[in-house]
Copies of this chain bind each other. A is one copy, B any other.
Amino acid sequence: MQNIYAQSLDAVAANYAPLTPISFLERAVFVYPEHIALVHGELRQNWADTWQRCRRLASALRQRGVGEGDTVSIIAPNTPAHFEAHFGVPMSGATLNSINTRLDAPAIAFILQHAETKVLLVDCELHPVVEKALHMLHQPPLVVDINDPLAVEGKAIGQLDYEALLAEGDPEAPYHLPTDEWQAISLNYTSGTTGDPKGVVYHHRGAYLNAASNAMSWNMPGHATYLWTLPMFHCNGWCFPWTMAAIAGTSVCLRAVRGDDIVKLIVNEKADHLCGAPIVLSMIAGVDKALLDGLRHTVKVMTAGAPPPASVIQKMEELGFDVTQVYGLTETYGPCVVSAWKDQWNDLSMSERASLKARQGVRVPMQEGLMVVNPDTMEPVSRNGQEIGEIVMRGNIVMKGYLKNPHTTEKSFEGGWFHSGDLAVWHPDGYVEIKDRSKDIIISGGENISSIEVEEALFRHPDIEDAAVVARPDERWGEVPCAIVKVRDGVTLTEAEIVAYCRSSMAHFKAPKRVLFGTLPRTSTGKVQKFLLREWAKEDATVETENNATEASSN
């Protein structure tokens, strides 16, 4: 018998369009051309002008031979140009690669080479590190300087300026729309458990769905005002540039994350939504109270990277902020798990509420699956809040894969799920709670640091015999790298010397903040027992805190 619903009912131009966030931009500019899309200092740029600039960027890139399959990289703080690149680059057909501004020159050079970058947009303040990186390349890309008027200082290192590039473009020229929603839209490098960063590829379908999922998950209304405390180079700002187009909202740009600036912009620009690592919350909670006098609206905050401490949540709530913890990885377009709040929890005590908010939560509306499993059997763990397993996800908000890395891609998708590498328990109500990070990653101020990368540097020191790096709890940064080092017999090395050595060969934020000396505990098969080192580092941090407290009280 024939299926009557499968006859002459095919996809055609009238009833099928590949999902792409460019469609959200098209609608925002069509319906709300006069609404402000971008605020940056004194600048007020509406959607119509933003559209013109994105189309110019797309056209200029195409005229210079950039198209599908090519990479356009950008390294910049959260400026209008960075926002525009999220549309203009895909509208040229190319893939957007937004680079972490805190990386050192070798890491940047690695990325530019691995991504085969054709064009690099550089914020003028970042010239020292980028210039160094470019010198390491055999075939440097076309370099375009973004001379942001709000930059403190800057030097032109490129062949032309961003505004000159836009001037080359024709805002009326046709632009690229994907014919296949599986087409790559962006490339984000992540520090994984292996040394070299991996290039995580997103597609138009996932970017579109996550943009919508953000709005739904957060009850974000049309025209919301979003403050850019979260770097756009983190998972494309968790896809919020595309969310802002979907809701025709206003993005308030921010070059540097400082508590005072954040609060001033919240008050003056009436920003009502922002995202960031817990350190952003701590900064806000730490500002002079007088700055918050003008605050008359509720500000919704999404935070990820580590559970916000109860004291911070309490302080934020008192100040009129509504904090939601989310969780995800670069591989899942940023957060795809949300600690969804329930009204019946409103009446619980502060500490009970904080411990509920400390759980990472449940899948967001447009992610399909989330489980905690035994990674060997792929069987879910008991939902008893006790048994530990690995967090795995599946669905449309999972990356295409790792660029030029089919083996790791396949491995990370084993068993039909993406393996997060994070260890968690599953509570009876279905909320997941991370109990331990995958052992190699340290998250410091929202940045991923691969312990292996730091270990490799340590091992390069001629006087170091053995070394391991683990996370050490830190009030300010959440975690900092802590090195445990065994120095070769007969030599002496100080903590300061080791830290300085590391800083000479990597981004400063990756260098250990603390060095402990001793012999590394290993299993019978030779694996370092990092959980023991983590306890040592934690104990060391506790002792330091207590000492500080003693000092403070004796002053």
- Give chain A's interface residues, CB within 8 Å of chain B: 1-17, 19, 23-24, 27, 30-32, 68-69, 95, 116, 182-184, 187, 201, 206, 212, 215-216, 219, 221-223, 246-247, 340, 342-343, 362-363, 365-366, 368-369, 393-396, 398-401, 403-404, 406, 409, 412-413, 416-418, 430
- Nearest CB in chain B: distance from A199 CB, A: 9
Partner of A5, one of B13, B95, B247: B95
| Bound CA–CA A8/B401 (angstroms) | 8
Task: Assess the B9–A400 pair: CB atoms within 8 A.
Answer: yes
- The reply to whether B430 and A30 contact each other, CB–CB distance below 8 Å, is yes
**A215 contact from B68, B183, B201, B216, Cβ within 8 A:** B216
Q: Is the CB of A416 within 8 A of B30?
A: no
Contact of A11 among B1, B182, B215, B417 (CB under 8 A): B182
Residue of B12, B342, B366, B401 touching A15 (CB-CB under 8 A): B401
* Inter-chain contact B69/A31, CB cutoff 8 Å: no
On whether the beta carbons of B368 and A17 are closer than 8 Å, the reply is: yes
Let me know if B418 and A184 touch, CB within 8 A.
Answer: no
- Are B183 and A396 in touch, CB under 8 angstroms? no
A403 vs B365: C-alpha distance in the bound complex, in angstroms? 31
Chain B residue contacts of A393, Cβ below 8 A:
14
Quick check: A416 and B69 within 8 Å, CB to CB? no
Q: A24 — which chain B residues lie within 8 A by C-beta? A: 365
What residues of chain B lie closer than 8 Å to A15, measured between beta carbons?
A: 206, 394-396, 398-401, 413, 418
CB distance from A345 to the nearest CB of B (A): 12
Per the bound structure, the CA–CA distance linking A209 and B201 in Å amounts to: 24
Listed A/B pairs (21) with beta-carbon separation below 8 Å: A1-B69, A3-B68, A5-B400, A5-B403, A7-B404, A9-B401, A10-B401, A13-B413, A14-B393, A14-B417, A15-B395, A15-B413, A17-B395, A17-B396, A23-B368, A27-B365, A30-B430, A31-B430, A212-B365, A219-B222, A223-B343
Number of copies of this kind of chain in the complex: 2
Rounded to whole Å, the gap between the CB of A330 and the closest CB of chain B is 14
CA distance A15 to B200 in the complex (A): 13
Q: Contacts A27-B363, A216-B247, A246-B216: A69 and B14 contacting too (C-beta < 8 A)?
A: no
Cα(A70)–Cα(B362), bound, Å? 35
- Please state if A19 and B69 are interface contacts (CB–CB under 8 Å): no
Q: Which residues of B contact A11 (CB under 8 A)?
A: 182
Q: Say how far A372's CB is from chain B's closest CB, in angstroms.
A: 14
Q: Is the CB of B69 within 8 A of A6?
A: yes
User: Do the beta carbons of A14 and B394 come within 8 Å of each other?
Assistant: yes
Taking the closest CB of chain B, its distance from the CB of A10, in whole angstroms, is 8
Contact of A362 among B30, B417, B418 (CB under 8 A): B30
Q: By the criterion CB–CB under 8 Å, are A16 and B68 in contact? A: no
Enumerate chain B residues within 8 angstroms of A69, measured Cβ to Cβ: 1-6
Nearest CB to that of A343 among chain B residues? B223
Neighbouring B residues of A201 by C-beta, 8 Å: 5, 9
A11 to B406, CA, bound (A): 13
Q: Could you say which residues of chain B place their CB within 8 Å of the CB of A4?
A: 69, 116, 403-404
Which residues from chain B contact A413 at a C-beta distance below 8 Å? 12-15
On whether the beta carbons of B32 and A342 are closer than 8 Å, the reply is: yes
Contact between B215 and A8, CB atoms less than 8 A apart: no
* Given A19-B396, A216-B246, 6 more pairs with CB closer than 8 A: A15-B395, A15-B400, A15-B401, A30-B362, A31-B340, A219-B222
State whether A362 touches B212 (Cβ < 8 A). no
Taking a contact as CB atoms closer than 8 A, the residue among B14, B215, B365, B416 that contacts A13 in the complex is: B416
Which residues does chain B contribute within 8 Å of A215, judged by CB atoms?
A: 216
